[in-house]
């Protein structure tokens, strides 16, 4: 099995910063894309940022210039650096990974349990 564990959430004032981490562990042969999604109360889940194994990144318009996604392939870990946080960034943030568990096996999607980010004064 594969587990994704997020950490780094919390309460921060507007304009502050947080860094989220997502560590993948278990039976892993290869990880393709790693993504961060968020779900705010009363809103649909949205893709915040994604990064391929080669380092190509993509961001939601609402976070461009403020958030930065990165990954350490040797550690199977992705990060989300969030700067200039706004109240509208308040949500539960989920990590997602597209994983191949062994050579020639199919790719599967895995999700973390989520970490709460609250931006409030």
pLDDT in tens, the chain (121 residues): 899 999 999 999 999 999 999 999 999 999 999 999 999 999 999 999 999 999 999 999 999 999 999 999 999 999 999 999 999 999 999 999 999 998 888 999 999 999 999 999 9
Separation CA 86–CA 12 (nearest Å): 9
pLDDT of residue 105: 87
Q: Please write the tens of the pLDDT for every residue from 23-58.
A: 999 999 999 999 999 999 999 999 999 999 999 999
Q: Which of 112, 107, 62, 81 is nearest to 18 (CA)?
A: 81
Helix (H, G, I), strand (E, B) or coil at 75: helix
Q: Which of 80, 86, 30, 20 is nearest to 51 (CA)?
A: 80
Would residue 48 be called left, alpha or beta, if left means φ above 0 and alpha means ψ between -120 and 50 degrees?
alpha
């Amino acid at each position: 099995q594969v587990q994704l564990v997020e950490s780094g959430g919390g309460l921060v004032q507007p304009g502050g910063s947080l860094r989220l981490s997502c560590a993948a562990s278990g039976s892993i042969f290869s990880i393709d894309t790693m993504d961060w999604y968020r779900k705010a109360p009363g809103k649909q889940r949205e893709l915040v940022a994604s990064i391929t194994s080669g380092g190509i990144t993509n961001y939601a318009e609402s976070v461009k210039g403020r958030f930065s996604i990165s990954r350490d392939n040797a550690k199977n870990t992705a990060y989300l650096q969030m700067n200039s946080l706004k109240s509208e960034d308040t949500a539960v943030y989920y990590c997602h990974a597209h994983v191949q568990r062994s050579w020639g096996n199919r790719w599967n999607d895995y999700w973390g349990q989520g970490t709460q980010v609250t931006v409030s004064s």
